[in-house]
Structures are given as structure tokens and as C-alpha cells.
Amino acid sequence: QSVLTQTPSTSGTPGQRVTLTCSGRTSNIGSNFVSWYQQLPGTAPKLLIYRNNQRPSGIPARFSGSKSGTSASLAISGLRSDDEGDYYCAVWDDSLNGPVFGGGTKVTVL
């Protein structure tokens, strides 16, 4: 069982906006910056968001992150078929002295 809790799956139609959530504790999300990763089928994870809401170069503005208290969110607007895959949140945990991942959310585009 993961330290961070993510909804196992969500779906949307092309063009729609979906929001993924990541719930943690004071020792992790409540104290540190959250990052988000996209893993398309059969590929390595890819950084989407760091420092709660910053996008690396090359990541479109359709992806946005936010954090409030001990929860974080990733929003995908203008959903596209090639957004289908698994999305993971991660954050440093002060109690465990290492990064922790969420269990992942599988995004399906209907």
C-alpha cells in the first residue's frame, strides 16, 4: 500500500478536463514540493510537474499542478488520446527520509 493515495482510475472524453488527486500527510505533501510523472504504456516515466506547479520545458500548459495542505492535484485540460497512461505523484517524506510515490492513476480517454 502506497504512502500517497491516488484514485486508481479516471476517464474522460477528448477535449475534456480531468483532475487527478494525491493525498498524503504532514510529513510529505504537507512539508515538501510535489512532482508528477506520466508513464505511457511500455515506456519509462516522464516528469510532468515539479515544485508543485512548475512545468519542465516541453510540457504543454494543458498540464497543471497545485497543492493545498496535505493534498495535491494534477489537471489535464483538452484531454487527448495520447494522454492515456498512468500518472504518479511523488514527494519527499521527512519521516521515511526518502521520496515516496502514489499508487498511480490510470487515465483512459473514451
Partner 1 sequence: QVTLRESGPALLKPTQTLTLTCTFSGFSLSTSDMCVTWVRQPPGKALEWLALIDWDGETYFSTSLKTRLTISRDTSRNQVVLTMANMNLDDTGTYFCARMRWTDGAFMDVWGGGTTVTVSS
104 interacts with partner 1 by CB under 8 A: yes
Nearest distance from residue 101's CB to partner 1, in Å?
A: 5
Long-range contact pairs involving 4-7 (C-beta distance under 8 Å, separation at least 24):
4/28, 4/29, 4/89, 4/90, 4/91, 4/100, 4/101, 4/102, 4/103, 5/102, 5/103, 6/87, 6/88, 6/89, 6/102, 6/103, 6/104, 6/105, 7/105
Nearer to partner 1, 15 or 99 (CB): 99
By CB under 8 A, name the one of 22, 100, 107, 109 that touches partner 1: 100
Q: Which is nearer to partner 1, 37 or 63 (CB)?
A: 37
Q: How far is the CB of 14 from partner 1 (least distance, A)?
A: 26
Shortest distance, position 11 Cβ to partner 1, whole Å: 19
- Asked whether position 44 contacts partner 1 by CB under 8 A, the answer is yes
